[in-house]
A and B are shown apart, each in its own frame.
Chain A
Amino acid sequence: MNAKLKETILNPIFKGNPITVLVLGICSSLAVTVTLKGALVMTLSVIVVCGISSLILSLLRNTIPGRVRIIVQLVVVAMMVILVDQVLKSFEATYAIDKQLSVYIGLIITNCIVMGRIEAFALGNKPWPSFLDGVANGAGYGLILIIVAFFRELLGSGTLFGIDILNRFGYVPNNLVILPPFALILLGCIVWVQRSIQKDLQEK
């Protein structure tokens, strides 16, 4: 694998993370991080939507009329989101999760990461790198989601993936952690940690 492709994959995971550096996709990261299971399903959904939409639009990139390109992007992304939602609704194992995530699966379409990467990368690059870029950005988004959800479920419910971890030691679940503002506080802490490691992000 050449260096450029490697950069395409690794950059969104840490150095150019869509949530902590580009600050995209914040609203859903506050909403779906109450449980790890929800965050995991959301992560996989965004990876699939982001990767495949980028792939399809990169394949079409030389045929899309410039004046309606945003509309064409929207149609493709909306199609992928509906497909993911339909599939989640069809399986017993994911039906309850889909109900729990409710509107947020449908709202992946408004997740700035998806359209942002298509506009910035997929329309100007070959299909394979575009696909990897979409997947990597979905994964970078998901990584933050899972970190936040880990702390929120552990401290807010005393469980991980619904399995009791802290409650058996007499831990009283902290309801503040369940509320959305705490996700913002956690996100702030993650940005803080990242900026102290990655000095070039600090404003002079």
Chain B
Amino acid sequence: MNTNSNVYTIIYTTVIVVVVAALLAFVSQSLKDRQDANEKAETISQMLTAAQYGTKAELDQLSNSQKLDKYAEEIEKAIIIDLEGNVVKELEGIDVYNPKLLKRQNYNIKGGANATGEPELPVFIFRNGRTVVPIYGAGLWGPIWGYISFEPDKATMAGAYFDHESETAGLGAKIKDDPAFQAKFVGITAKFADANVVDLAKGGEIDAISGATMTSKGLDAAIDTWLGAYAKYFLNAEEE
């Protein structure tokens, strides 16, 4: 058979691509539950890290089920609020917001063609009095997200943990890998009345990462956008 004819080449590549795509789709579907369980436990450990229940390394020593148990033990209240700061509903059981859900809410906050409705903003209040809220945005190469915790005064940051999909190792990836960078958030007061809620820049209130300008800017924008969306909730809480 002539394997160099145009018809053969087109049919051959089509068949191979379809077979590979079908196989990958099948594998992805059958492993989805396991991956989601891992991601859920990871999200919980990131929130617990932000709420200062231990360092990420310490929390990673726990198994998935231990992480879920710890969360169930330590969570006081998990609620969904709207942009006005009103409580829309309470989250039951262990219902955490993974990056996929955050991405959807990120579109809703920004509005535009990708928005699917009103933003549903999760707030997690832990038994140690700290409030954890997520952030989500664009880094240099892909999405970045994280969790920031606030002291009971609802203005002073108590801790933060950030994660990313594909930032440059050793530079942008420091938002996740460098505890010293995350520690810079501790004790800083968020200016909710201001558009620039947290001043993350070179020489700013929180010093940006050298060699990772775009990731730092993306993180700053993500924090300002998300904390801006939460502003009314936090400002109302301060007045009370």
A79, B24: Cβ atoms closer than 8 Å: yes
- Chain B residues near A (Cβ < 8 Å): 3-4, 8-9, 12-13, 16-17, 20, 23-24, 27-28, 31, 34-35, 38, 41-42, 60, 63-64, 165-166, 169-170, 173
Q: Is the interface of A mostly helix, strand, loop or mixed?
A: helix
**Residue A31 interfacial (CB < 8 Å):** yes
Bound Cα distance A27, B18 (Å): 32
Q: List 19 A-B contacts (CB under 8 A).
A: A62-B3, A64-B3, A64-B12, A65-B4, A65-B8, A66-B3, A66-B4, A67-B9, A68-B12, A71-B13, A75-B20, A79-B23, A79-B24, A83-B24, A86-B35, A89-B31, A90-B38, A95-B42, A103-B166
Bound Cα distance A89, B34 (Å): 8
Bound Cα distance A68, B6 (Å): 11
Q: How far is the CB of A93 from chain B (nearest CB, A)?
A: 10
**Residue A191 interfacial (CB < 8 Å):** no
**Residue A186 interfacial (CB < 8 Å):** no
* CB nearest to B3 among chain A residues: A65
Chain B residues whose CB sits within 8 angstroms of the CB of A83 once the complex forms: 24, 27
**Residue A203 interfacial (CB < 8 Å):** no
Chain B residues whose CB sits within 8 angstroms of the CB of A72 once the complex forms: 12-13, 16
Chain A residues whose CB sits within 8 angstroms of the CB of B28 once the complex forms: 86
B20, A90: Cβ atoms closer than 8 Å: no
Q: Which of A63, A76, A87, A99 makes the CB contact (< 8 A) with B31?
A: A87
Chain A residues whose CB sits within 8 angstroms of the CB of B165 once the complex forms: 102
Q: How far is the CB of A56 from chain B (nearest CB, A)?
A: 10
With A79-B20, A96-B60 given, can you name 4 additional A-B contacts, CB distance below 8 Å?
A65-B3, A68-B9, A68-B13, A86-B31
Bound Cα distance A21, B32 (Å): 41
**Residue A82 interfacial (CB < 8 Å):** yes
Bound Cα distance A158, B24 (Å): 40
**Residue A200 interfacial (CB < 8 Å):** no
Chain A residues whose CB sits within 8 angstroms of the CB of B31 once the complex forms: 86-87, 89-90
Most buried by A among B28, B31, B60: B31
Bound Cα distance A179, B27 (Å): 36
A67, B27: Cβ atoms closer than 8 Å: no
Q: Bits for A68-112, please: 1 = Cβ < 8 Å to B, else 0.
A: 100110011001001100110111100110010011000000000
Bound Cα distance A201, B177 (Å): 40
Chain B residues whose CB sits within 8 angstroms of the CB of A25 once the complex forms: none
Q: How far is the CB of A94 from chain B (nearest CB, A)?
A: 9
A75, B16: Cβ atoms closer than 8 Å: yes
Question: Which range holds the interface residue count of chain A?
Answer: 20 to 34
A92, B4: Cβ atoms closer than 8 Å: no
Q: Which of A76, A95, A103 makes the CB contact (< 8 A) with B38?
A: A95
Bound Cα distance A141, B160 (Å): 38
B169, A67: Cβ atoms closer than 8 Å: no
Chain B residues whose CB sits within 8 angstroms of the CB of A103 once the complex forms: 166, 169
**Residue A180 interfacial (CB < 8 Å):** yes
B63, A92: Cβ atoms closer than 8 Å: yes
* CB nearest to B45 among chain A residues: A96
Q: How far is the CB of B96 from chain A (nearest CB, A)?
A: 16
B4, A67: Cβ atoms closer than 8 Å: yes
Chain A residues whose CB sits within 8 angstroms of the CB of B16 once the complex forms: 72, 75-76
Q: Which of A66, A67, A90 makes the CB contact (< 8 A) with B34?
A: A90
Bound Cα distance A66, B24 (Å): 25
* CB nearest to A32 among chain B residues: B169
Bound Cα distance A83, B31 (Å): 10
Bound Cα distance A67, B8 (Å): 11
B169, A102: Cβ atoms closer than 8 Å: yes
Q: How far is the CB of B167 from chain A (nearest CB, A)?
A: 9
Bound Cα distance A99, B173 (Å): 12
